[in-house]
């Protein structure tokens, strides 16, 4: 299908055969594409020129009508680099930190982890693992090639350690009580072999906690800014539970968390499968997929119209939240001139530049000089927090949230 003249350059919606499902090998169906997107969204660039010179990949969202999995058919692992300057943490936000710690406390209460070993695959900077160990008295081992142990309090828990290696390079680890895999599976294209690597390292009999973004919200809200090159695989409740069972694992917990933005699944091979936990069927999922086409077009049109209107009135717009969402919006819409800067509360991002467009990332305090007319919030969960920040600085811009 040819791109519509009303769509941004390089954006297309489609409905035709495209490749095969990475997990069940059934022919796939193409849904949506963006011709040029940054290969990795959350890398910090020191200059605008470096940010604009980032390797570009493509996004080709495809779906399997049999198992319900969605994936980026254009994913190129060779373009993705998490080793240097990758900054994904949201823990500087009080809203996010409160939820993270509450989740860690709930897990600590549900599982007897004191003195036991918890392994987190894809631990990032290690904040969740440190919180879980502090709440439970567990020992923690974080495995992640991009991890930075200096970003967490190493006194949390008994023996918090990090291995800066891919899980495939790790020798088998004895006596693992719990495996945690949060916001990692979506970065993996061959998720079946990846799970087997985890089980090889930590034993296939070990309980596993998985958290991933929920694609259903993205589809029903037309949240095109939440689709990235480095997210190789996308899950709904139904596709996640079907996949984990296809790998021979039972499921005891399956739920939406963090205001329905994420999915959480718990699988303990030593306990019975709760077969009532099914999620949406492939047929029900197709209804959500059918909504995405129009919803995304409407989202693009609304956001473009808003930013263009502010610019035409001589006003200034900024985005709040210098993560993948901001990168996705700026690159997909091509609104470089309509956005003055991107704000982020994370001090490690201040002064860096957004991949693909080169927009400068500023600290909230710099808004007192910019005095924006519009603050476009990338995640509605943080609206109250951001409104309080702006009020404390004596600023009263228009605040709009994407989703």
Question: How confident is the model over 257-316, as pLDDT tens digits?
Answer: 999 999 999 999 999 999 999 988 888 888 889 899 999 999 999 999 999 999 999 999
DSSP-derived pairing of the beta strands 117-121 and 176-182? parallel
Q: What is the pLDDT of residue 43?
A: 87
Encode the chain (403 residues) as per-residue pLDDT tens digits. Answer: 444 448 999 999 998 888 899 999 999 999 999 999 999 998 889 999 999 999 999 999 999 999 999 999 999 999 998 766 777 778 788 999 999 999 999 999 999 999 999 999 999 889 999 999 999 999 999 999 875 544 666 654 457 899 888 888 889 999 999 999 999 999 999 999 999 999 999 999 999 999 999 999 999 999 999 999 999 999 999 999 999 999 999 999 999 999 999 999 999 999 999 999 998 888 888 888 989 999 999 999 999 999 999 999 999 999 999 999 999 999 999 999 999 999 999 999 999 999 999 999 999 999 999 999 999 999 999 999 999 999 999 999 999 998 6
Strands 253-257 and 117-121: unpaired
Three-state DSSP state, 321: coil
Structural domains of the chain sorted by starting position, each given as residue range(s) with its CATH number in brackets: 11-77 (no CATH), 94-283 (3.40.50.150), 314-401 (3.40.50.720)
Provide the 10 A C-beta neighbour count for residue 337. 9
3-state SS track over 358-402: CCEEECHHHHHHHCCCEEEECCHHHHHHHHHHHHHCCCCCEEEEC
Question: Phi first, then psi: what are they for 36, rounded to 5°?
Answer: -135, 115
Residue 29 contacts residue 15 (beta carbons within 8 Å)? yes
C-alpha span between 19 and 6 (Å, rounded)? 28
Q: How far apart are CA 328 and CA 347, in angstroms?
A: 21
How many CB atoms neighbour CB 248 within 10 A?
11
Residue 190 burial class via C-beta count within 10 angstroms: exposed 0-12, middle 13-18, buried 19 and up: middle
Count of residues in the chain: 403
3-state helix vs strand vs coil in the chain, percent to 5 = 35, 25, 40
Predicted local distance difference test score (pLDDT) of residue 282: 85
Element (H, E) at 310: helix 282-312
- CB burial string 166-184: b at 16+ within 10 A, e below: ebeebeebeebbbbbbbbb
State CA 134 to chain mean position distance. 25
At 367-379, the pLDDT tens digits run 999 999 999 999 9
């Amino acid at each position: 299908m040819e791109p519509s003249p009303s769509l941004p350059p390089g954006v297309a919606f489609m409905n035709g055969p495209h490749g095969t499902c990475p997990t069940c090998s059934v022919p796939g169906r193409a849904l949506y594409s963006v011709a040029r997107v940054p290969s990795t969204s959350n890398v910090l660039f020191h200059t605008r020129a470096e940010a604009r010179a980032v390797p570009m990949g493509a996004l080709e969202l495809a779906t399997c009508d049999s198992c319900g999995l969605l994936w980026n058919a254009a994913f190129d692992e060779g373009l993705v680099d998490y080793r240097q300057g990758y900054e994904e943490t949201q823990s500087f936000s009080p809203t996010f930190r409160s939820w993270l710690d509450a989740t860690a406390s709930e897990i600590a209460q549900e599982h007897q982890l004191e003195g036991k070993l918890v392994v987190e695959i894809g631990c990032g900077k290690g904040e969740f693992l440190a919180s879980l160990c502090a709440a439970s008295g567990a020992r923690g081992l974080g495995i992640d090639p991009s991890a930075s142990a200096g970003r967490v309090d190493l006194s949390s828990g008994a023996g918090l350690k990090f291995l800066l290696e891919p899980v495939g390079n790790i020798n088998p680890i004895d006596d693992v009580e719990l495996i945690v895999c949060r916001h990692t599976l979506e970065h993996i294209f061959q998720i079946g072999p990846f799970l087997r690597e985890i089980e090889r390292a930590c034993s296939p009999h070990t309980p596993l906690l998985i958290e991933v973004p929920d694609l259903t919200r993205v589809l029903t809200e037309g949240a095109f800014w939440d689709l990235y090159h480095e997210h190789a695989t996308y899950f709904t409740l139904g596709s996640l539970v079907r996949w984990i069972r296809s790998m021979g694992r039972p499921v005891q917990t399956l739920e939406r968390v963090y205001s329905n933005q994420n999915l959480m699944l718990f699988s303990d091979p030593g306990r019975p499968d709760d077969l009532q936990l099914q999620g949406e069927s492939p047929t029900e999922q197709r209804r959500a997929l059918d909504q995405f086409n129009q919803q995304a077009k409407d989202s693009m049109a609304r956001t473009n119209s808003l930013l263009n209107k502010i610019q035409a009135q001589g006003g200034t717009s900024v985005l709040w939240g210098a993560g993948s969402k901001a990168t996705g919006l700026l690159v997909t819409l091509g609104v470089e001139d309509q956005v003055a800067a991107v704000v982020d509360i994370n001090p490690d991002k201040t002064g860096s530049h957004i991949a693909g467009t080169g927009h400068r990332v500023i600290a909230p305090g710099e808004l007192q000089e910019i005095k924006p007319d519009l603050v476009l919030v990338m995640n509605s969960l943080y609206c109250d927090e951001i409104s309080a920040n702006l009020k404390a600085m004596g600023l009263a811009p228009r605040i709009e949230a994407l989703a």
